[in-house]
């Protein structure tokens, strides 16, 4: 997913479509044996450093599930 910047103490509304991702089976599935989540970090991912792109602390997260 791309980096999204939100000004301090502001809100943002975004929609990102991952057209090749799926919640079903297949090579681009998001869910595996241990599940999946979305994590928001305090800074931008540098797309180089592992495991979290030197993006700082985790400030929010959510579990991805199917119904």
The confidence band for 61, taking pLDDT boundaries of 50, 70 and 90, is very high
The answer to whether the CB of 52 falls within 8 A of the CB of 65 is: no
Domain ranges of the chain: 1-6+13-67
Quick: pLDDT tens for 18-40: 888 888 888 888 888 888 888 88
DSSP codes joined into one string, 34-61 = T-EEEEEESS---SSSTTTTT---EEEE
Q: Torsion angle of alpha carbons 45, 48, 27, 33, nearest 10°? A: -70
Instruction: Say if domain 1-6+13-67 classifies as CATH 1.20.140.10.
Output: no
CA angle 23, 30, 13 (to 5 degrees): 90
């Amino acid at each position: 997913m791309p980096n999204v910047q939100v000004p301090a103490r502001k809100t943002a509304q975004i929609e990102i479509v991952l057209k090749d991702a799926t919640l079903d089976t297949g090579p681009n599935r998001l869910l595996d044996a241990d599940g999946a989540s979305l994590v928001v970090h305090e800074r931008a991912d540098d797309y180089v450093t592992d495991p979290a792109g030197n993006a700082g602390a985790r400030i929010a997260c959510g579990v991805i599930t199917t119904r």
